[in-house]
Amino acid sequence: MNPSSFEYYAPKRIDEAFEILAKHDGEAKILAGGQSLIPLLKLRLTSIPYLVDISGIGDMKYIKESPDALRLGALTTMDDLEISDVIRGKYPIIFDAASNVADPLVRNRGTIGGNISHGDPSNDMPAVMLALGASFVIAKSNGNRTVGADAFFIDSFTTALEYGEILREIIIPKYSGNEGGCYIKNKKTAGDFSVAGIAVQLKLDRSGKVERAGLGMTSVGPKPIRAVKAENYLRGKKIDDSAVQEAARLVVADSDPSTDFYGTSEFKRRVLEKIAIDAIYLAADRAEER
């Protein structure tokens, strides 16, 4: 099926994109990699009179380390993240998620900014951003504003982005010693959305106790969810069987899955508890290795 007709723009600078958005007030839609939006257009699940393709804006594609943060341009692709030595070496939680997105063709085109901005509760990167305590630089014609991941995801397919704004940069607190993370998802087939997914980032103190914990969930609620109860519980605990099992139980308590094609709500809770246990152990192991 072909999409409904639309007028296509391909600005080369972000200020051009803002001019086009202003010209078509409320009617234009941003396209980054297109791996979420294009299928919706082809199936005619949505229609857009004006499409603004920002993939050609070159200064929004980068992976940079600053003294206090990792900075990712919103047009950085999943493939860019997957092959980056910085991501592989210091941020395995991001590598895990990027390498689990769909298939190589999608990862070659799909961007981290698009994965976040789409607001799909089944996407991979939002859970990782919650676990990492990321913040997002949102550009508009008269300047920038910064929004934390906690405040960015509002509801299903609804984010803090307003019309005329573009997600420009992702800021992630810089890796420190004794810190590790991972992302695990259960999926029916390769390249599929997850039945349930969880991102875990742990920082351990010198005695091996959890100093800081971040846990984000995907596919188990109307939006990406932080497992706050489990985060609070893990703080100050040693990672042993008792602590991990209780944390996994609290993860499930913070979830809100619904029955759909991928399984019943109860099945998703069972899956979530299992992968939460695996993810906490793996994150702790990676933290101890550093």
Which residue has 């810190």 as its token pair? 179
**Cα 234 from Cα 212, distance rounded (Å):** 8
**Cβ atoms of 103 and 94 closer than 8 Å:** no
Q: What percent of the chain has pLDDT over 90?
A: 81
Give CATH for domain 61-173.
3.30.465.10
Mean pLDDT score, 91-117: 89
35: pLDDT strictly greater than 60: no
Tokens found for residue 4: 């409904």
Give CATH for domain 179-289.
3.30.390.50
Burial of 38: CB neighbours in 10 Å, binned 0-12, 13-18, 19+: middle
pLDDT in tens, 154-171: 999 999 999 999 999 999
3-state class of 128 per DSSP? Answer: helix
Lowest mean pLDDT among 27-41, 225-239, 274-288: 27-41
Predicted confidence at residue 48, as pLDDT, reads: 80
**Other CB atoms closer than 10 Å to residue 225's CB: what's the count?**
24
Q: What is the mean pLDDT of the chain?
A: 92
Spell out the residues 6+ positions from residue 135 whose beta carbon is closer than 8 angstroms to its own. 146, 147, 148, 149, 170, 171
**Domain residue spans of the chain:** 7-53, 61-173, 179-289
Asked if the domains at 7-53 and 179-289 fall in one CATH topology, the answer is no
Predicted confidence at residue 49, as pLDDT, reads: 87
pLDDT in tens, 184-224: 999 776 656 789 999 999 999 999 999 999 999 999 999 99
Predicted confidence at residue 109, as pLDDT, reads: 80
Tokens found for residue 255: 């979830």
**Better-predicted residue by pLDDT, 49 or 22:** 22
264: pLDDT strictly greater than 90: yes
Nearest to 78 by CA among 36, 111, 55: 111
- Domain 7-53 falls under CATH 3.30.70.370: no
Spell out the residues 6+ positions from residue 126 whose beta carbon is closer than 8 angstroms to its own. 115, 116, 119, 149, 153, 216, 218, 223, 224
One-character DSSP codes across 215-273: EEEESSSSS-EE-HHHHHHHTT-B--HHHHHHHHHHHHHH-----BTTB-HHHHHHHHH
**Cβ atoms of 107 and 101 closer than 8 Å:** yes
Spell out the residues 6+ positions from residue 244 whose beta carbon is closer than 8 angstroms to its own. 277, 280, 281
**Other CB atoms closer than 10 Å to residue 25's CB: what's the count?**
9
| Type of residue at 236 | G
43: pLDDT strictly greater than 90: no
Spell out the residues 6+ positions from residue 247 whose beta carbon is closer than 8 angstroms to its own. 230, 233, 234, 237, 276, 280
Tokens found for residue 106: 């999608």
